[in-house]
Amino acid sequence: DVQLVESGGGSVQIGGSLRLSCVASGDTIGRYCMGWFRQIPDKEREAVAGIESDGSTSYANSVKGRVTISKDITKNILSLVMHNLKPEDTAMYYCAAGPVMPYQWSQGDKYPYWGKGTQVTVS
């Protein structure tokens, strides 16, 4: 099993930047597809970005050009750097890991491992 713990959320002004981190334990993230998802109350969970075991990345159209996903296998950390933040980026952000096919990176139900989330508020 993989345990995931997110950090780095907070309150930021419109146009600001944040770096979210997800520390993994129990297994190496290099084995898995890793993803960042977000959710606001009463709305469906939304895929933000994904990174495959080979390092290939994918982004939701809503964040493309403003967000970068990366991973440090030596430290077992997944990161999400977000720039030019907008109010609509406000959400709880979760990292996820799993043996997910590249074309399924945005399908949250394919990931068996999840963190508890970190809140991002943009105003």
In DSSP terms, 35 is beta-bridged to 50, 96
The pLDDT value recorded for residue 24 is: 98
How sure is the predictor about 12, in pLDDT bands with cuts at 50, 70 and 90? very high
Please say whether the dihedral angle defined by the alpha carbons of residues 118, 18, 8 and 3, taken in this order, is positive or negative.
Answer: positive
Q: Measure the CA–CA gap between 98 and 24, rounded to whole angstroms.
A: 12
How sure is the predictor about 49, in pLDDT bands with cuts at 50, 70 and 90? very high
Which of 59, 1, 62, 68 lies closest to 32, judged by CA?
1
The pLDDT value recorded for residue 32 is: 96
Q: Measure the CA–CA gap between 66 and 32, rounded to whole angstroms.
A: 24
Question: Are β-strands 10-12 and 118-122 bridged in parallel, bridged antiparallel, or unpaired?
Answer: parallel
Query: Tens of pLDDT along 50-88?
Result: 999 999 999 999 999 999 999 999 999 999 999 999 999
Query: Tens of pLDDT along 83-122?
Result: 999 999 999 999 999 999 999 999 999 999 999 999 999 9
